[in-house]
Structure 1
Amino acid sequence: MKLSTLHFIFFCCFILTRSSVAQTLTIRLTDGSNTPVIGATLRLSERADSTKRMFSVADTSGLAKFTLKPGKQYLLEATSIGFKPLRKTISLTGGKTTLAFVMETDKRTLNEVVVTAPKPLMTQEDDKTVVDPEPIAATSTNAMEIIEKIPGLFVDQDGNVYLNSTTVATIYINGREQKMSAADIASLLKNLPPSSIAKIEVLRTPSARFDASGSGGVVNIILKKGVKIGITGSLNLGMNQGRYGNQFISGTLNNNTGNRTSYLTLNYNRRNTYDQVETDRPFSADSLLNQRSFTTTPSQTIYSGFGFSFTPTKKWDINFDDRLTFNDYQSFADNHNQISRISEALLVTENTNTLRNKTTAFGFNQDISAKYKIDTLGSEFTADLTYGFSKNDGTQLFSTAYLKPAKGAIGGDGTIANERHSFSVRTDLKFQLPDKLVVETGLKTALQRFTNETQYFSVNGANRKPDTFRTRSFEYDENISAAYVQASKTIDLIVIKAGVRLENTVMNGHQRSPGDTSFHLRRTDLFPYVYLSRRVTKIAGYELRGYLVYRRSITRPVYEYLNPFPRYLDQYLYETGNPTLRPQFTQNIEANISVQDRPIFAVGRNYTSDIFTNVVYQDVKNPSLAYRTYDNLGKNQETYFRLMGAIPPGGKYFFVVGTQFNHNKYDGFYEGKPLTFQRGSWSIFTFHQLKLDTRSTLSLNGYLRLKGQLQFYELSNFGALNINLNRRFLDRKLTVTLSANDVFFTSNNQFTLKQGSISASGMRQSDTRRFGCTVVYNFGIRKKEEKTNMMNFESLEKSVN
């Protein structure tokens, strides 16, 4: 792989500009039972000059890191929910780089004390960006809206999430990949209550510990599992209205009694939206197909989550998590189609097409995990077992009425049944060794079985007969087994992490009807990973840190891309899978810089071979008929850079803005002919928060896409601006939020597609402009509140009610 001169220069500067003055100190916080204190806020200030302060937040192992100068004394202050403040004087002496402290439980009524601490929206933890969703959860109605509002992430109109690539990101929940279709994942996120999310991890280049799939990166959603003391909960209800309305109600109950924690979440969501598409497609030298479609998608969803965890001993931690989803989904599409002779401006054919879909879906996920703490330094062994099941049963009715020339209506109906079973087991072993050496290794195997049964009939007048073209029976089995090892070590100010993952892939697809066809794939691949991090310099008391990451990954075609079942869209368009689709491989290298663990700049490049993407082909026998499928097209080279900045908050107002540029170049073959395509696009995003008074907050977020791209579709400029106002009542237990999403109705776009024999243009818009109200009531023992101000560098504050 060839690296650009920019990458080479950055790499040389990264390694050579070393400093041996400062050292890294790791502080571990636990409670009386040796359980890590997660999310504690730590402040260090120099004893000789208290104006020089550093802040950190304890991670899931209760660990926080600071870069200090040997020989100097520092004052440490740590605070956390339900614990008395910890104050210690510390220094780096005798080569000791790890200190452990026990925080004492505060048994007083927590209503008496309110601790206010700075907490940024986004922080950088090694090779991942951690997002605290609390600042935007109060102004969101579901998890998908939270993701849409995170600066630097982009969600398209189909619910796919993109990070720094044109490849879709992989969605994880609690560290486990969701083996579901893109539509099912989008539905799950749209019905996941925002208050159930503890944090979101964004991994643009995941380490060897993660599956090698997903060259588009990983978005890992960590759900809440309870609170520290007693019984608490919340009740949420709200609505928003565009052309159609959405209504939802949810409740969460958490209980912690000593070494046992449980939670229960229930959510009901009733949604409706529309999608409007207008397309012009010439299919011959003198023929133009004009299509206008309007689709509504009413649905009702019930979501339930239950979890139970307990610590039978100080070293063991065992968790059970269940998630149930029931979805009653419908879609009603009306299409108006016209075929004209271009040279004469003559209308040749006109018809209307209706499509009615009704689907009932049920999903179930059971997760069981156990963690064993080997020592007090953070060494641990974890084991995880997951089983998932989903079943979709749907019916489809379609008909076409011919207006010109007038003739009898035709149509058809069908039933679609999908069933999926997935099972995975994973073990991870992590050793914290002397001299700042951490070694991780693990094994994983994942099994999946998917079956699809469709039966269609065509109707012409009173004549109803089997439709052999659309009737299919398809089976798909997948087994991916993996082993990995990686190690990280801190040398002076440099953190080095390197690893390799070995994956064996076995995929079998078998179509039993209408013909006996099958495909088989067996391969074993190595996926290396290298990560470097070091402090570059310090400016105005803020640490400037550089990162360099390399990763090789694979993107495997999922069953919906492979299933050859032709799905009816209208009489001029259908979509089908490609059983011969091959996996694509991506090599990614990225350099980025953060200030105080807050990402500000990144530049990277993706090299992808055997790239597959969504394509549109024209039917050879019937030029007016086109079909969407997936195909391997060749190679792609993508270059990107990302820049984020903020005005540090000096009081009530906080501001952050960012931009990202992507340039894609494709070289390959399309319909057997050479393909060359390149396009550059910009994304601009921003977030504002204004504290009107002690109980009211006004927030604004938005994005703008310039010369956007979606596969080979070239998009016009589009974006959205969202405004939210919330106020707290009843001793801050009740929060009322007024929201306005896509205020100027600009989240719609025009598109063009010019590849091979296909040339099309048009526009697409959805029901994105919405105005709503959400009411949240929190009950139980009151907890400490935190300022979740973006890029907040203020000092720790305490106040007594």
Structure 2
Amino acid sequence: MMLSLRILIPLLVINNIALAQTVGGHVSGSINKEPLPLVSVVLQKENTTIATTITDKEGLFRFYVSLVHHQTYILRLSLIGYYSKEVSFIYPDTSVLHQLVLEESKTILAEVTVTGKQPLLMRKSDRTIINIENSELANGFSASEVLQRLPGLWVDNMGNIRLKGNQSVTIMVNDVVQRLDTEELVDYLRALKSDEISRIELIPNPPSEFEAGGSGGIIHIILKKRNKNGWTGSFNTEYRQQADKPYYTTGAMLNHQLNKLYISGSITFVRDTRSITEKTTITYPHLSSFSNFTHRGEKVQRQQYRFAAVYDLSKSQSLSLQSSFSKTNWRQQFFSDEIYKAYQLSYGKATSAKQRILNFTGATLNYSYRPDTLGTILKVIADFSNNTRDDNSEYNKINEDQYKQRQWRAQIPVNTRIFSLQSDYTKIFTPKTLLKSGIKYASISRDNKMVTEDLENASWTLTPGQNNHFLYAENILMLYVSAEQKWRNTTVNAGLRAEQTFSKGNEISSSITFSRKYLGLFPSVFLMQSLNAEKGTTITASYSRRLTRPALNELNPARIEFGSYTSVSGNPNLQPQYSNHFSLAYQFIKNHSLEAYFVHTNNFIALSANTGANNSIDYHTENTGTTKEYGIEYSSTIFPVKSWTINTSLSAYRSVYSFNEKPYRLTSFYASSIHTLTFTNITDIDVMADYRSPYIYTNLYTYGNFNMDIGFSKKILKAKAKLRLGFTDIFNTSREKEWTAEKNYSIAFYRKRPTRSIRISFTYQFSSGKKMQAKNIDMGGQEERRRAGN
């Protein structure tokens, strides 16, 4: 394999004399020569349209079409705020397309309303693009809620985002991997509002230029660009009634261009109050059992601030800075009734209060240099973040048996610092040959303490065995190279990534230390064959190797109690898991795709449970061996009539686990459908429905779930504002229901959140000044944030 790659990569770079039938070029503005994204590009022959596309964020476009030598073709370019342009060329001479310039319109398009919009879904060879901006998802949602509504994507009961059956994913925002544990990532996505999002890219099988972390691919969130000179901004507010509790949020965004300096800022406030009910039943041998009925009240206050600036050093160089700060105050109250059934019934009550304060501060500095107009670019990105989390909990257990009564408290402060530095270089030799390479260094440090005390004789004393001070440091060095070459209707992309990891852990309280050093090689190969360019028919095959490192909280050996009969502890002996991904996809009739995939994972990391003292359930993570998953997915976009769009996703997959020397197998199904109806000058209606059949994750069996939402949107105030009325989970069928069985116990769990709600949101956009090219601020360096908690 290594020898083949060493031979293949240079051949792909050198061989630029093939008979490629690919048309590509670059589009920029006439004033500042900045690349123009979202330019409509139409390729025609004798007044017949052959293909259409839009330019990317670098102003680049490409067509994969069959062209005839010595035939004349016409390229039409258009973008709001610029004069349209028409260019003719005789194939194969496409040099005129390498640098296309659009002249800015002399007419100021103040308050122009663009009624046309991109389709919700756009499918490319290696990813699916969901255009959030101007869609039914653009207002009144958080990023977390948007992800739950995307076809083929779902969120499990633990908050883990899944893609392609049951595969976990990595989240990126503006090229920055979010290195956060599950709870912190959920909080981050809840704070990010949908009106800040331009589009989301689903990349199930990432090439080598992406970090190898994450077993199920990458979800890339691209934030909205501002496209007017002078001042632009927006204001949004939302109120939601969820059962008998309210939720409301408000936010604002402001952007300004001053000569070579572009600045942007935003602020968001959230208040969320909700009630949750839970039931847990643990059954032991000889039919003894423990049941817990809990009512949980939550109050969440969240605020988030963002600032960004870009300065153009020259026409080809720019320097950008992006910073963000967020703070969350999360209060919870638990009221539980407990029944323990053994030789006789025992009744008890438990109350607890928990406060979690989260603080996140991050900054990214980016330098970019574009030496030519073909799209060649050098980027240097430095990123730093500091995460703190302070958990304070108090527990009070009251029981008929005074020996089972207990009052205790816990304090768990955590601090995580992450720094990364990377350089990426993309060289485009011709529209059919390119080379990418890069190097990256990432450093993670964590300081985690836990202090647990019991109330005894009116004084607090340390609880034996439940006090912990854990220090962890990790350094990762990453390198990659990839090349892409096209011949006629065939595209080949091959790459290799290497990641060297050094880590050390020190549990000071118990003098447990460990260290790791491992090197991983991650090849990727991508092949695409165009069968019919006009109909968009292609076949795509891909392979990649990926890894999942243990999350930082999974390595801490501390044991944390949750209530009377449940605890969780980490495992310092965890090893990373490695996955091999194979896929074969067929795209036809432009808007339909069918894909089969297979994933094989070694050293699979899973949550296991054992019975401890007093029949408590002790959870811990461990490497469980190998797992397999294979499945098939179908997705489509159809237009029954002009004003009605239907996006459908169907999938079936089979999961195979080997856990505690027992096999677990199950075939699962998933279906989702999004309907959008547009009634001009009246309202837009969107209906979203999805169903997931029961599925397994090792020995955890999760029951099926159905959800349906409906929303109504209306543009008002000369289309400057948008009013939206939405109803979520209208049949109130969404719930979390799980079952786990082992030799010495079985656990049945049920949770109901206030998923049925009514919401109303209002968004107002304003602007003053001339049209301009938006600045895109790249961030880099947060795969660590996916794994690092606060």
Compare 147-156 and 67-76 and name the one that shifted more: 67-76
Task: Tell me what 1:631 maps to.
Answer: 622
- Return the match for 1:564 from 557, 581, 595: 557
Amino acid at match of 1:442: G
Task: Tell me what 2:173 maps to.
Answer: 173
Shift of 1:225: 4.7
Shift of 1:536: 2.2
Residue 659 (structure 2) pairs with residue 665 (structure 1): no
Task: Tell me what 1:384 maps to.
Answer: 381
Q: Say which SS state the counterpart of residue 471 (structure 2) adopts.
A: strand
Residue 537 (structure 2) pairs with residue 544 (structure 1): yes
Residue 114 (structure 2) pairs with residue 123 (structure 1): no
Q: Against the structure 1 CA distance between its residues 407 and 484, is the aligned structure 2 distance closer, same or farther, given a 3 Å change threshold?
A: closer
Gapped regions of structure 2 (runs ≥ 5): 2-17, 772-790
- What is the distance in 2 between the residues matched to 1:616 and 1:227? 53
- 1:3-402 pair list within 5 angstroms: 23-32=21-30, 33-48=32-47, 50=48, 52-66=49-63, 67-70=65-68, 71-94=70-93, 98-111=97-110, 114=113, 116-134=115-133, 135-243=135-243, 244-341=245-342, 347-402=344-399
- What is the distance in 1 between the residues matched to 2:382 and 2:292? 48
For the 8 Å contact 1:725–1:737, the answer to whether it is kept is: yes
- What is the distance in 2 between the residues matched to 1:592 and 1:758? 43
- 1:472-487 pair list within 5 angstroms: 472-487=468-483
- Return the match for 2:748 from 742, 761, 765: 761
- Return the match for 1:689 from 673, 676, 684: 676
Task: Tell me what 2:421 maps to.
Answer: 425
Q: Against the structure 1 CA distance between its residues 419 and 598, is the aligned structure 2 distance closer, same or farther, given a 3 Å change threshold?
A: farther
RMSD over aligned CA atoms reads 2.2
Amino acid at match of 2:281: D
- What is the distance in 2 between the residues matched to 1:573 and 1:431? 55
- 1:396-795 pair list within 5 angstroms: 396-402=393-399, 404-405=400-401, 409-434=405-430, 436-460=432-456, 462-513=458-509, 515-537=510-532, 541-595=534-588, 598=591, 600-619=593-612, 621-622=613-614, 624-648=615-639, 650-667=641-658, 669-670=659-660, 674-694=661-681, 696-781=683-768
Q: Against the structure 1 CA distance between its residues 783 and 287, is the aligned structure 2 distance closer, same or farther, given a 3 Å change threshold?
A: farther
- What is the distance in 2 between the residues matched to 1:630 and 1:437? 45
Q: Against the structure 1 CA distance between its residues 765 and 189, is the aligned structure 2 distance closer, same or farther, given a 3 Å change threshold?
A: same
Q: Say which SS state the counterpart of residue 234 (structure 2) adopts.
A: strand
Q: Say which SS state the counterpart of residue 183 (structure 2) adopts.
A: helix
- What is the distance in 1 between the residues matched to 2:122 and 2:597? 19
Q: Say which SS state the counterpart of residue 610 (structure 2) adopts.
A: strand
Q: What TM-score, normalized to structure 1?
A: 0.90
Q: Against the structure 1 CA distance between its residues 618 and 451, is the aligned structure 2 distance closer, same or farther, given a 3 Å change threshold?
A: same
Q: Against the structure 1 CA distance between its residues 336 and 347, is the aligned structure 2 distance closer, same or farther, given a 3 Å change threshold?
A: farther
Q: Against the structure 1 CA distance between its residues 649 and 376, is the aligned structure 2 distance closer, same or farther, given a 3 Å change threshold?
A: farther
- What is the distance in 2 between the residues matched to 1:106 and 1:97? 22
Q: Against the structure 1 CA distance between its residues 432 and 144, is the aligned structure 2 distance closer, same or farther, given a 3 Å change threshold?
A: same
Shift of 1:21: 9.9
- What is the distance in 2 between the residues matched to 1:435 and 1:194? 34
Q: Against the structure 1 CA distance between its residues 161 and 437, is the aligned structure 2 distance closer, same or farther, given a 3 Å change threshold?
A: same
For the 8 Å contact 1:682–1:706, the answer to whether it is kept is: yes
Compare 94-103 and 458-467 and name the one that shifted more: 94-103
- What is the distance in 2 between the residues matched to 1:726 and 1:27? 38
Shift of 1:265: 0.6
- What is the distance in 1 between the residues matched to 2:541 and 2:270? 43
- What is the distance in 2 between the residues matched to 1:73 and 1:294? 72
Q: Say which SS state the counterpart of residue 624 (structure 2) adopts.
A: strand
Shift of 1:688: 0.6
Shift of 1:114: 4.9
The one-character-per-residue Cα deviations of 1:40-77 (angstroms, maximum 9, x if unpaired) are 122233324x3x45321111111122224224444433
- What is the distance in 2 between the residues matched to 1:279 and 1:270? 29
Q: Say which SS state the counterpart of residue 578 (structure 2) adopts.
A: strand
Quote the sequence identity (%): 21
Q: Say which SS state the counterpart of residue 307 (structure 2) adopts.
A: strand
The one-character-per-residue Cα deviations of 1:301-354 (angstroms, maximum 9, x if unpaired) are 11011100122211112211001001111122222221224xxxx752221122
Structure number with the bigger relative contact order (C-alpha 8 A, sep ≥ 6) is 2
Q: Say which SS state the counterpart of residue 634 (structure 1) adopts.
A: coil
For the 8 Å contact 1:235–1:776, the answer to whether it is kept is: yes
- What is the distance in 1 between the residues matched to 2:34 and 2:759? 41
Q: Against the structure 1 CA distance between its residues 213 and 472, is the aligned structure 2 distance closer, same or farther, given a 3 Å change threshold?
A: same
- What is the distance in 1 between the residues matched to 2:106 and 2:619? 63
Q: Say which SS state the counterpart of residue 180 (structure 1) adopts.
A: coil
Task: Tell me what 1:797 maps to.
Answer: none
The one-character-per-residue Cα deviations of 1:492-535 (angstroms, maximum 9, x if unpaired) are 1111000111110111111011x110111101111111011121
- What is the distance in 1 between the residues matched to 2:628 and 2:634? 20
